Structure 1
């Protein structure tokens, strides 16, 4: 019984040392957080550059559910202003080309 316990103990020690070596190697490869931290700039849009969800689905001639699906798939960017959702007008106009024309909508 003692030999078996000793073997298990030695195995656990070996595994622990391997994990510590792996962690040390990963820390050496990963850049330090201070160096990799970048300030993300948030673009602000004017009201002319944005449109409501209703305007967007009327413009694209699709249903609200289809528009919501495009938003969930991240094909259209949603901008939240308080409780209202706005879409970027340029993205909606581009969606006319890659979505509506393919579907046969003019």
Structure 2
């Protein structure tokens, strides 16, 4: 259901289009600069590489209890020049299906 949007957000990471994500409401609450810095830090300066379809579809999904607007958190691995890295992009899914967008980039981190 969310796979095309997840792919769009991941592709924006590859092409360094963080401003676009923030302007479209596809990344929050950070700024484009904060997401860019987090990605560089997590990958130690390596470039983001395309994610295999299987890895995209096998992200980790967690229910968020007690959060007012978000119902799910999805962790998708980030691939770099050396293959799968330790970094993840954290996406949030809004409880209100009428809200646009329903999914957005929340954080980039190494757990």
TM-score by length of 1: 0.24
Which structure exhibits the higher relative contact order, with contacts defined as CA atoms closer than 8 Å and separated by 6 or more residues?
2
Larger radius of gyration: 1
More helix by share: 1
